[in-house]
Amino acid sequence: MINDIEICKECHYMNIKDYSCRERHCRKCDNYGGKLLPADVRIIQRPVMVRIDCPHCDYEIEMQYSDFEGLMPSEYPGDWGGEVIECPNCNKQIEIDDYDWD
């Protein structure tokens, strides 16, 4: 919806053939509908898998996040530091030190 057609006549709105181009042009001129305001988009992710490289045998441990969460004392990642899990390949204990989110 054009707010003021007189403004569009001055900026040659009618010379733009394609409707979607006209619409984009009017949005740039702030003459289309209400003024558009920018918005940030936040993408919310859900963890699915956990990968841990065993420091003893270099075996790559993969498990479902829910299984890993069950091994930890808390759902809060800040509480995981110092927790110990066992490598299924060499059966040695691994201390959880740090974590990265992909």
Asked whether residue 44 is assigned to any structural domain, the reply reads no
Judge if 54 and 27 occupy the same domain.
Answer: no
Judge if 31 and 53 occupy the same domain.
Answer: no
Asked whether residue 11 is assigned to any structural domain, the reply reads yes
Judge if 35 and 5 occupy the same domain.
Answer: yes
Cut 0.75: pTM above it: no
Say how far apart CA 88 and CA 17 lie, in whole Å.
66
Instruction: Name the residue range of residue 32's domain.
Output: 1-39
Rounded mean pLDDT of 72-78?
84
> What is the total count of domains within the chain?
2
Q: Could you report the per-residue pLDDT of 13-71, keeping only the tens digit for each?
A: 556 666 566 556 555 565 555 555 677 888 888 889 999 999 999 999 999 999 999 99
